[in-house]
Structures are given as structure tokens and as C-alpha cells.
Chain A
């Protein structure tokens, strides 16, 4: 009996004109969106590689350790083709130095400076809008339509339990949409493999498939919502109207309103900025108050320029040993304050992330937003994945500082010169010699390299969103089931 209902409903849905139209629209839109996202991804990869190349060139031209500031780049995520994250964190980059902790990244790809004006669609958004609509269009008259035409009472009089009828309709629509998702899955694979600069081995197939499973989860929730409405109201036109109101509430109005309202209680940065500026001033004061610094730096204005100016002009009247002592003092102060400033900035970022987390959790009461958040974290493009990456860069900074210290390049004279200990500067000649003597370049083969492995388990935020979606699914199932169990099948 169950099989017969599923098969009949499945056939009816597949031959329905509006289902065919919406499916074709979805296939077309997903194709176009994936193709455009592939082109953008290629550009980002090119930009990433060019930057990597430029950095490795720079690394070959380093003579003293003060010149060494490794730049860490985040590789573009292949799955960002299907679900891109916030624009600001695409191709993020941080500089590792002794002055600061990596807290906020700087993007090195500005391809969207103007394009973000009209929102960039990704595959996930097409699924949210079009498949969500399709789920409603397929279910709004599933139960009340039968009632209107008088067939519901007939079916129920023929010893078909309500649970079987409800289950059969649900499974049939879910199968139809699963079939469409399968087509979209194959379509996106085809487009990505042909248009993106990616080999099939560099794509994480597990995550790719999991992403489509989350799409299916969303579609199933929408189907249940549609059935719930259809099993509650009497007329199919009312049902359709309610479904459409629900749809626009879920996919656009509610998440947008929550995200907008979150601006009202957004953490303010001014106090943090003032604290950071105060600490910076205190730091500079401590460095300047070093005994004898006036004699060392009569004309030098900023700290960053010291090493360069020392090399370029004859501005060091006193001995290298004195300067070495000063550098030891300066770098200790810098490291200490980098830690303190970093802690302040990190606390502010943590606060912002907490705020974002609660906002997202509230917005994720709408399945559409829940899918968006979930798919971003599966694709590795969410703010939380990014935070993981930043934490890894902070760990790397520790390793890097240990390396500098082990080479006597942090507090000693190797910070600013590679001359043997008994030598004193002979300034301008030294500069010329330095620029023309490649043998004096640093060999950095033993420099620890940055490695980032995205963690396999998603972090707390997407897990919470995912479980919220599942809870919603269960709730809808119960509500719509109970609703249909009490439904009056008599027409009119």
C-alpha cells in the first residue's frame, strides 16, 4: 500500500508542469552560478600563487633576521565554489613579526571591491531560494487538495491508515527532490572539473557529498513545513498563500531582520582601540627611555626604520656593542607589548565572535539561514574555520620566535648585522657590499614552515546550528503528523 502511494505520487509530481519548470530553472541557475564561481575561484588561486611566488622570492633576499617577516596565506577553499563565506576573509593573509600577534587578517584579493553591490549568488543560495520554493509548491495542496476534490475521504475509507498516506506523500516528494539534488550534484561536479583549476584528487569528496546531504536535510524540512500547512488549512489557495508567506519569512525576512537587529547590540571597538593606542604609546615610551638612546638615534624617527637607516646613513656614532644592547632591550619590550596588545585585541575579537555566534543561532531558527551557516562550515569558508586558521598562525608565531632565538637573531647582533663580533660598521661601504654579496644571504632551509590542517570535526557553532536544524525537523514531523491525524477529511 505504502509503495503504491509513493509510486503514484512520485509519478504525479514528475509530470507536474510547475515542478518541471522550477527544476529546469534550478538546473540552469546552479550551472551558471557554479561556472561563475569557478572563474572567480581560478582568479583567487592565481592571485594566491602569484603572492606565494613573490614571497618566496623575497625570502631569498634576506641578510639579517630583522628583515624576516614570514607572510602566511590561506589557500582558497575549493568548496567555496559552492558556498562562499564572508567576502572579507577570502584569501586571508597575516604577517608574522615581533611587533604584533596575528588577530585580524588582511585579504590580498580585492576582486570584489565593487561587485558586492548586488549580492553574489552561490549554489547554496540557489538551493535555499529555488528548492525551498519548489518544496512548498509540491506540498501545499498535497493534503488539502485531495480534500477539496473529495478524494481524501475516499482514500481514507479504503483502510489506508493516515500515517501511511502522510508518509507516502512525504517520501514521494522527498524522493523527487533527492533526484533533483542528485542531478545538481553531478552537474556541479561536471562544471567544476571542467571549468575550475582543480584536479579531482584535490577536491574533498567526503565533504562535497556531505554538503549535498545538508541540502537534502534542508529540503526535507521545507517539505515537512509544506505538509504541515497543507494538513491544517481547508483550501489549497489558502495553503499556498500561507506557504508563500512562510517561504519569504524563512528565506529572506526573518534572517535579514535578525542580522540587522544584531547591529543594535554589536560590540563597540572604541574602548579597545583606545586601550591599544595607550599600550602602543607606553611601549614606544619604554623603548625611547632606554639610557643612551638619544645618542644612538639622533635623527631616526620611527622604530621600524632603524635597521634600514643604520645601514643607509652614517647615523650610528657609538659602537655596535651598544647598539646590540639596545636591540636586546627594544625587542624584549616589543615582544612583551605584542603579547599584551594581542591579548586585548584577541579578547575583543572573541567578544565579536560570541556575538556573531548568538546572532547566527537566533537566525538559524529559519532553516534557510541554518543551511547557509552549516554549508559554510562544511565548505570551510565560515568565520569559525577562519578562526581556526588564525589560531594556527598564532601557534606558528611561537615556533618562529623560538627559531629566531635559537639563531641568536632575536635579542643579539644577528638581528641587525651578520658581521663577525669584532667588526664595527663602516657604513656606506657596508651597504654597497651587502647589496652585492649574495653569499651573505641567510639560508632559511631550517626555518619552520607553516602547516595548516583543517580540523575534521566542525566546531561548536556549526554543530549547534546543525542540531537546531535536526530538532526543527523532528518538531515539524511531530506537529505535521499530529495535525494530519486530527484533520477533517470531509470536503466543503
Chain B
């Protein structure tokens, strides 16, 4: 850096008319960066990581898509075999969230969330994760967000930790010229952003190119939106760390001290705080454990049983007493499944709340803000997950509505749908009682699940909060860097 400034000083006298000091500083800094080993090494690593990430996530995506497709086909095949309403109430429907390639590649969060809900006429289970790579943790999948969160910030620190305190005497020399401190700071920041941004862009383009070639996917202009959004937000993120490094470099006298400080902040913000916020969220907004839920279900069964279930078993002459026993059973099963359902819903709601609390807390860290903004923008965030849960709920309601409607058409049925579903689940089609209609149904008329993702017009609003916070952090750090550098003692 020393040489860069002395060179710049000599160059300044020869600068063309109209080129301001900022552009001169910028040009020299960029050239200087491009020649350093640290830049070359980290740019190569960044590009390699982006390509690896693209290849791995898209390979994983293909696998997940295949599983999803098989699942969907199996479900459809199963639906076509349904002949009567007994079959329908006994059928295990599934509502599955389809994978979205670019959302998957850019931010893998969607795949960390449970994405399938199994449901029958009577109950809807907790959402589960079904697409997993056996024997490995899903965390091993490197998404673009992870690469940027961990590596771009690191690159900014490595390039700029000695930007000011490493200059030595040259800074005094240059400040004796008519160049303001602000101009120096701006020149340095812009130059760093130029080289980091261009390496990131190279990484992104290489990654996209490799995917398009290897996976033989036709190019669509729709790709431009998620990739552009990702690059824009990643740029803000990089600038945050650029200004943070400049501020630290202006504050500390020794480059080693500024680097040590920056690394601590980096570790704290990027790795430690997001994990600690998870712990805090568990304490602040607890979700019931599996054991508690199991105990609650058992006590629920006892409660409902004592309230509804008559003693003894079905008497022989049931037809004569108007199927009194079955009518009681129906009430019992209805009440049980209803209360069981609300318990499941509560657990899911608590878990979603917990994760929301965790995200809010984690958003102190710019890496989580970046993730939240990008995930919101490309539609792989918690809102999308919640919308999926709502759609699964609506799907169950549609199936229930369908069964009620079909059953109402049959006058020979007792219309005891809950008891009928219970019998069907226990005995298959062997139930000898006319609790629900036994007439044929048309498999085509049974409702199917179609997930409706939020459109790209709706998404930016969801991402706006996080992007705004990211910008505020950037502005604060810019102000801080400027203030530190303005007050820095140059000897």
C-alpha cells in the first residue's frame, strides 16, 4: 500500500483534466488490489466456492425434484384406486411443497423447514421433512447465501484490515495535498467494492453457466430476478464489512490489532450470534417438547373418553336402538380429532413463532439480515412456509367438504362421518355398518393439492424490512468509518 500512495502522489500531477481525486484513488487502489496475493487467493476461493455451491445444490435439487415427482405420482395413483367414500376417508392424502430451483440454490432455508403434511379426513399431522439425503446432515449443503455470508465478509476484512493503519507515512504526504479525508475513504471503499463485487459477480456467472451447461437447463429470463436480487443484497452486505474494516483500520494503530478485532466481530456476528439467538429464542418463546405433546395427547384421550364414550360394547340389536352406540362413538371421535387437531396446530404455531423470534433476534447479525432479505425475495422464507401450512389446512377442509357433500347425497347412509372414518382406518373396507355412504365415487372428482406460491410481485414487500435494516446498518457504518477516519491522528 505504501507504494500505491507514493505512486498516486506522483500520478496526481499528471492526472487528466476533469478526473477528480476520488477516481484517481479508486483506479490506483483497484490496480493495487488486483496485484496482491490476498485478493487473487480469495477471489479464486470465492469463485470455486460459488461453482461448487451451484453444482452441489442443483444436483441435490434434481434429486429432491425426483422424489417430489415420485411422491406426486404415487399419490395420484393412489387417488385413482379410490372407489367409495370409505376408501376416501381412509386414504392418506399428502400436501407437499414443490421445490423451486433458484430459491433452493440461493437460500437453502426452505429445505430445512418441514415441507410435507400428511392428512386424512379426521386429522392433519405435523409437517415433516421428507426430502433428505440419508446419512448426511442437510447443513452440509453449501448455498449461495452461506458462501456470501461466510466468505465475502471475510474477504472484505482480509483486503481492508490495514487499509489506513498500514499506510504509514504516505497518508501524511497525501493529506498535505488538496485531497479531503472523505475522498480517500470513498476511493478506498469504492475500489474494494469494485474488486469484491466483480469477483462475486464472476462467481455467480460461472456458477449459473456451469449449471446451465451441466444440467442442460434452457435459459429463462426469470432467472435474472432472483440472481439480480441476490447480487444487489450481497453488495450491500459486502459494503457493510468494507466500511466496518475501514473504521477498524482507522481506529487501531496496528494492522494486527485491527485484524484481530475484525475477526472477533466477524466470528461473533456471522457464526456465534445466530446460534446464540436460537438458544435465547428457545427460552423466550418455548415450544412444547415431543414428550409434553405425547403426554397431552394421552390426557386428552382420557378426558374425551370419560366424557363421551359410553361403557360397554356395542349391543347385538344395534339397529333397533337406532345405532345409539355408533352415534355416541361418532361424537367421541369427532371431539377427539378436533381437540387433537387444535393441539397439533398449537404446537406448529409455537414452533413457527419460535423460529420467528430466533430470526428477529439473529437479525442483529448482517449475515442473517442478508439471508432473510434474499429468502423473502426469492420466496423460500418462513412466510412461504406458513402459506403452505394454510394451504394444507384448506386442502383438508376441501376433502372434508367433498366427503360431506357426497355422503349427503346417499339416503341410506347414517351420516356418521367421524365414526365411519375411524372404522375405515381400523378395519379397512370391511366395516359392515352403513355409517357412511358406500356408493361409488368418481376418483377424478376428489380434490387435489396444488401449491400456490406467492408471486414475485408480492415477495419484495416481505423482503423489504430486512433489506431496509441492512441499508440502515450500512449507513451507520459509513458514518462511523467517516468519523473514525476524520479523527484519526496521522503522524
Chain A interface residues toward B at CB < 8 A: 18, 21-22, 25, 29, 32, 36, 43, 46-47, 50, 86-88, 104, 108-111, 113-121, 129-130, 133, 137, 140-141, 236-237, 240-241, 244-245, 248-249, 252-253, 256-257, 259-264, 266, 268-270, 299-302, 305, 308-309, 312-313, 315, 352-353, 356, 383, 432
Contact = CB atoms under 8 A, between A and B. Distances in A.
B96 interface: no
Given A104-B134, A141-B256, A257-B142, A241 B158 contact: yes
Contacts of A50: 291, 294-295
B17 interface: no
15 contacts: A21-B264, A113-B114, A114-B114, A118-B278, A120-B275, A120-B278, A130-B267, A256-B142, A260-B140, A260-B141, A260-B142, A263-B133, A264-B59, A309-B427, A313-B430
A299 B42 contact: no
Contact of B428 (A114, A249, A264, A302): A302
Contacts of A432: 313
Given A109-B290, A117-B355, A249-B45, A260 B53 contact: yes
B396 interface: no
Contact of A352 (B48, B135, B259, B274): B135
Contacts of A237: 162, 166, 255-256, 259
B364 interface: no
A133 B267 CA distance: 10
A259 B140 contact: yes
B136 interface: yes
B75 to A, nearest CB: 15
Contacts of B289: 43, 46-47, 111
B446 interface: no
Given A109-B290, A241-B38, A356-B136, A260 B52 contact: yes
A21 to B, nearest CB: 7
Interface stretch (B27-35, B146-154, B196-204, B387-395): B146-154
Nearest to B142: A260
Interface of B: 38, 41-42, 45, 48-49, 52-53, 55-57, 59-60, 63, 66, 70, 109, 112-114, 126, 128-129, 132-142, 146, 150-151, 154, 158, 161-162, 166, 255-256, 259-260, 263-264, 267, 271-272, 274-279, 282, 287, 289-291, 294-295, 313, 351-352, 354-355, 358, 362, 426-430, 432
Contacts of A86: 135-137
A301 B425 CA distance: 12
Nearest to A266: B133
A87 B126 CA distance: 18
A119 B139 contact: yes
Contacts of A262: 136, 140
A263 B59 contact: yes
B80 to A, nearest CB: 17
Contacts of A263: 56, 59-60, 63, 133, 141
Contacts of A140: 256
A117 B45 CA distance: 26
Contacts of A18: 260
Given A87-B137, A133-B267, A313-B432, A268 B63 contact: yes
B290 A111 contact: yes
Contacts of A241: 38, 158, 161, 259
Contacts of A46: 289, 291
A121 B41 CA distance: 29
B358 to A, nearest CB: 7
A54 to B, nearest CB: 9
B276 A32 contact: yes
B73 to A, nearest CB: 12
Interface centre among A111, A117, A313 (most CB of B within 10 A): A117
B381 to A, nearest CB: 11
Interface centre among B60, B135, B267 (most CB of A within 10 A): B135
Given A248-B150, A299-B430, A301-B428, A114 B135 contact: no
Contacts of B162: 237
A121 B294 CA distance: 27
B135 A261 contact: no
A327 B135 CA distance: 37
Contact of A356 (B135, B263, B426): B135
A111 B294 CA distance: 12
Given A113-B126, A237-B256, A253-B151, A245 B158 contact: yes
B170 to A, nearest CB: 16
B309 to A, nearest CB: 15
Given A43-B291, A137-B260, A118 B358 contact: yes
Query: Secondary structure of the A side of the interface?
Result: helix
Given A244-B158, A383-B135, A252 B150 contact: yes
Given A119-B139, A133-B267, A245-B41, A301 B430 contact: yes
Given A241-B158, A300-B430, A301-B430, 17 more contacts: A113-B114, A113-B128, A113-B129, A114-B354, A116-B137, A118-B278, A237-B259, A252-B150, A257-B142, A263-B60, A263-B63, A264-B56, A266-B63, A270-B70, A299-B429, A302-B428, A432-B313
Given A88-B132, A116-B139, A266-B63, A240 B112 contact: no
Interface centre among B56, B113, B114 (most CB of A within 10 A): B56
A47 to B, nearest CB: 5
A87 B136 CA distance: 9
A77 B343 CA distance: 31
A240 B428 contact: no
Contacts of A264: 55-56, 59
Nearest to B268: A25
A244 B112 contact: no
Contacts of B161: 241
A315 B430 contact: yes
A261 B55 contact: yes
A129 to B, nearest CB: 6
Contact of A257 (B52, B113, B129, B135): B52
B59 A245 contact: no
B290 A110 contact: yes
Given A47-B289, A257-B49, A356-B135, A118 B428 contact: no
Given A113-B126, A241-B158, A352-B135, A118 B275 contact: yes
Contacts of B274: 118
Contacts of B66: 270
| 4 closest A-B pairs by CB | A260-B56, A259-B140, A260-B142, A301-B428
A309 B166 CA distance: 84
Nearest to A247: B263
Nearest to A348: B134
A168 B259 CA distance: 26
Contacts of B354: 114
Contact of B256 (A129, A130, A240): A240
A299 B431 CA distance: 10
Nearest to A18: B260
B259 A240 contact: yes
Contact of B138 (A43, A111, A116): A116
Contacts of B295: 50
Nearest to A86: B137
A129 B271 contact: yes
B427 A248 contact: no
